Chains A and B, each alone.
Chain A
Amino acid sequence: METVKLTIDGRHVEVEKGMNLVEAAASIGVKIPTLCYMNLHGLGYGNGPGACRICVVEVEGRKTLAPACKTSCTEGMVVRTHTPRVVNARRTVMELILSNHPKDCLVCPKNGHCELQELACSLGIREVKYDGEVTSFPKDMSLSIVRDMDKCIMCRRCESACNELQTVGVLSAAGRGFHAVMGTPFGESLQDTGCVNCGQCVAVCPTGALSENSNMADVLRVLADPAKKVVVQTAPAVRAALGEEFGLGGQSVTGRMTAALRRLGFDYVFDTDFAADLTIMEEGTELLGRLKAYLDGDRSVKLPLMTSCCPGWVSFVEKNFPEAEDYLSTAKSPQQMFGAVAKSYFASKLGIDRCDLVVVSVMPCVAKKSEAARSEFSHDGDPDVNIVLTTRELAQLIRQFNIDFTSLPEENFDMPLGVSTGAGVIFGVTGGVIEAAVRTAYEVYTGRKLDRIDFTELRGTDGIRSATVDFNGVPINIGIAHTLGNARKLVKEVVAGTSPYHAIEVMACPGGCIGGGGQPYHRGDASLLAMRATALYGEDADKNLRKSHENPYVQQLYDEFLGEPCGHLAHELLHTSYYDRKPVVEECIYSIKNNG
């Protein structure tokens, strides 16, 4: 590694050649404020258009101030990051940005979590001297995401997330100059575009321009309704990040989360991890079925089997690679399996009509809001999952109820849908679903106990990983991708018939669900994702039961109600089908029309 030596604020520092000044300063603990800049280390993805100019610094020998994010370190450079001239310039830049920004912070969805607000605060802005034209764009909303482009500062982080990280290609700058806007093609509503609702644009947006479509009010309404029994399920990744909202970062807060949900008034506090174990029973059985058919010489069988837990990924396949739909597992996602089981098995246990049971999910994800609304996940107009909250919305509710989260006791989930194994827990991290599937599939296929439960070869943060697991002499090739940009590479191979894998796991978000669009904003901080992954693997390791098929309540569910995995009732309740949603050009008579 070639290095250069430079001086930052009087301190000597040696860094890799080509490193920018923001990173170099950070390496010695000097924080240069940034807005548009973002660097998701390890994923080879970032954003640095040099657009906002907040990060300007003085570089000796240069007449003008230099944007630190766009300035590479050179030998002998002398940099000053916080001189009066620099601070004055930053204040001016900030005031110019604020001159075209709404001042309704009190009722903004990002209130208290806004990078622009934090920066205005730290720069001590008391007035905006510039009074000029203000842009105004129509608000847009999908089931998952709300766009308020009046609050956009054109940092283009969402554009990088949507195009480079996810290769979804919906958000892009349109127009030019002052009237440019981060928009959808032809100004359409997100709902009508190729958007898959992954929410990575929300996860990185520094202002209130992009936020989740909030359902907090819906939850409060059902909790206040005495005629309803309200159950809540919490996805694996939620517990790994919820603590960050209350100063308990880097740890799993399962017990406190459960206690908080009880205090919010939910009648039953259940765990999506239970449904994750159930997913493994179904998806694992499906995988073994396809594998056995293949090994028996059936070449028409669709392999690799691609996981279907992630609604962003499922939507991505439907909208871009419908020809690969048959490779997706037909197993519903854990959220939807939980809903289907709660509204049938559990409602009948309580002796109530499914319509009087309200299922609320807490998810690390905004795509789950759209998933729950898919018509195939309803029964006579009653959705299996009624309301979906994000991790952030749950934190907000906890604050609304003035619950002192840190001093809550650790409580357990309710029975029977609250019991899970370690395999269910790791569903929240990239590689976790397939590791859970392998733990069960191996034992079911070989009839032998696993010598070791941790498949470390399936873990890690590389965007695409592969491993071969030996199933008693049969090598099973596994591919793993996180982020849709990486998934695109794997699914292209599948479509081309060149995929070397038997099974592929995809999670749309960086790091898996732990980096989801509904989590406390990761804003490109990969260390946050690593912390959350560690928390989940830790919880898995601490569990007595670590294989889905050993979950006694899942076994009981099959015995009492479902019958066999992939059996008739299981198929009806726990499996689904997919749709071709890809745009096509069709030849037809059409008159030239004015698109104004």
Chain B
Amino acid sequence: MEKICMPPKRIEEIRAICREHGNDAGELINILHAVQNKLGYLPREVQELIAMELGIPVSKVYGVVTFYSFFTMTPKGKYPVSVCMGTACYVRGGEKVLEEFKRQLGIDVGGTTPDGLFSLDSLRCVGACGLAPVVMVGQKVFGRLAPADVKGIIDEFVALERGA
């Protein structure tokens, strides 16, 4: 038999979420949302457990996770950076801001810094086009950015982390 290893607490957390959704395969996307909210990402073991709980093939779960860009199999940083690439942000230099984040953090889109502090993603439109180009770090919104502002934003969170 093939063994899937997980700590007991995590197994219970995931099972509880599946139960809250009635172990219903039709609720897969909602379950994945809830589990990702809790764990920050959806690693392989977690997908296998969800598949078992819902009685569906793990290929289905994996298919959904890889289809929707919201889901991730990589752990997010403590401060997830999302750079808007919507039309307004893009034409006002969002891409240059994104490039600067990549350079400063030394990671690509979808990556996480080795210290687990920052992860980088691009997204389409946060609904704040008046502030374009826009970057979100966690729930905090930064607007009208230029590449020169990037280092300051990163430093702000590094300082916050040192203070904590």
A48 interface contact, C-beta 8 A: no
Shortest B113–chain A CB gap in Å is 12
Contact at A194–B57, with CB atoms within 8 Å?
yes
Contact at A169–B5, with CB atoms within 8 Å?
no
Contact at B1–A322, with CB atoms within 8 Å?
yes
A172-B62, A185-B48, A194-B57 given; 20 more Cβ-contact pairs under 8 Å: A163-B60, A169-B56, A174-B59, A183-B59, A184-B59, A185-B58, A185-B59, A583-B4, A583-B52, A584-B3, A584-B4, A585-B11, A585-B49, A586-B3, A586-B5, A590-B6, A590-B45, A592-B43, A593-B43, A596-B73
Name the CB-closest residue of B to A192: B2
13 A-B contacts (beta carbon < 8 Å): A163-B57, A172-B62, A186-B62, A322-B1, A580-B1, A584-B4, A585-B11, A585-B48, A586-B6, A587-B6, A590-B7, A592-B43, A595-B74
Ranked 3 nearest A-B pairs via Cβ: A169-B57, A172-B59, A583-B2
B152 interface contact, C-beta 8 A: no
Contact at B112–A594, with CB atoms within 8 Å?
yes
Name the CB-closest residue of A to B3: A586
A184 to B3, CA, bound (A): 18
Name the CB-closest residue of B to A581: B1
Neighbour of A586 across the interface among B4, B59, B61, CB < 8 A: B4
Chain A residue numbers with a CB within 8 Å of B62 are 172, 174, 185-186
Contact at B74–A594, with CB atoms within 8 Å?
yes
Total interface residues on B, CB under 8 Å, equals: 31
Shortest A524–chain B CB gap in Å is 21
Binary contact readout B1-36 vs A (1 if CB under 8 angstroms, 0 otherwise)? 111111110010000000000000000000000000
A556 to B112, CA, bound (A): 71
Name the CB-closest residue of B to A181: B66
Binary contact readout B32-69 vs A (1 if CB under 8 angstroms, 0 otherwise)? 00000000000111011100100011111111001101
Chain A residue numbers with a CB within 8 Å of B75 are 592, 594
A468 to B116, CA, bound (A): 65
Chain A residue numbers with a CB within 8 Å of B60 are 163, 169, 172
Chain A residue numbers with a CB within 8 Å of B6 are 585-588, 590
A175 interface contact, C-beta 8 A: yes
Contact at B63–A174, with CB atoms within 8 Å?
yes
Chain B residue numbers with a CB within 8 Å of A589 are 7
Chain A residue numbers with a CB within 8 Å of B2 are 581-584
Chain A residue numbers with a CB within 8 Å of B74 are 594-596
Chain B residue numbers with a CB within 8 Å of A586 are 3-6
A581 to B2, CA, bound (A): 6
A170 interface contact, C-beta 8 A: yes
A595 to B75, CA, bound (A): 8
Which residues of chain A from 25 to 72 have any CB-CB distance to chain B below 8 Å in the complex?
none
Name the CB-closest residue of A to B9: A587
Contact at B4–A175, with CB atoms within 8 Å?
no
Contact at B67–A186, with CB atoms within 8 Å?
no
Contact at A595–B5, with CB atoms within 8 Å?
no
B residues apposed to A, CB below 8 Å: 1-8, 11, 43-45, 47-49, 52, 56-63, 66-67, 69, 73-75, 112
Which residues of chain A from 541 to 596 have any CB-CB distance to chain B below 8 Å in the complex?
580-590, 592-596
Which residues of chain A from 138 to 189 have any CB-CB distance to chain B below 8 Å in the complex?
163, 168-176, 180, 183-186
Neighbour of B57 across the interface among A170, A173, A585, A593, CB < 8 A: A170
A168 to B43, CA, bound (A): 22
Name the CB-closest residue of A to B68: A176
Shortest A19–chain B CB gap in Å is 29
Shortest B120–chain A CB gap in Å is 14
Contact at B7–A585, with CB atoms within 8 Å?
no
Contact at B57–A174, with CB atoms within 8 Å?
no
Shortest A149–chain B CB gap in Å is 14
Neighbour of A171 across the interface among B1, B5, B8, B59, CB < 8 A: B59
Contact at A175–B7, with CB atoms within 8 Å?
no
- Given A186-B44, A584-B1, A585-B48, are A595 and B57 neighbors across the interface (CB < 8 Å)? no
Chain A residue numbers with a CB within 8 Å of B52 are 583, 585
- Given A583-B1, A583-B2, A584-B3, are A176 and B67 neighbors across the interface (CB < 8 Å)? yes
A81 to B63, CA, bound (A): 35
Contact at B3–A583, with CB atoms within 8 Å?
yes
Which residues of chain A from 182 to 208 have any CB-CB distance to chain B below 8 Å in the complex?
183-186, 194
Q: Of A173, A583, A584, A593, which is in contact with the most chain B CB atoms at under 10 Å from its CB?
A: A583
Shortest A37–chain B CB gap in Å is 22
A582 to B55, CA, bound (A): 13
- Given A583-B48, A585-B52, are A170 and B7 neighbors across the interface (CB < 8 Å)? no
Q: Of A180, A322, A582, A587, which is in contact with the most chain B CB atoms at under 10 Å from its CB?
A: A587
Shortest A486–chain B CB gap in Å is 17
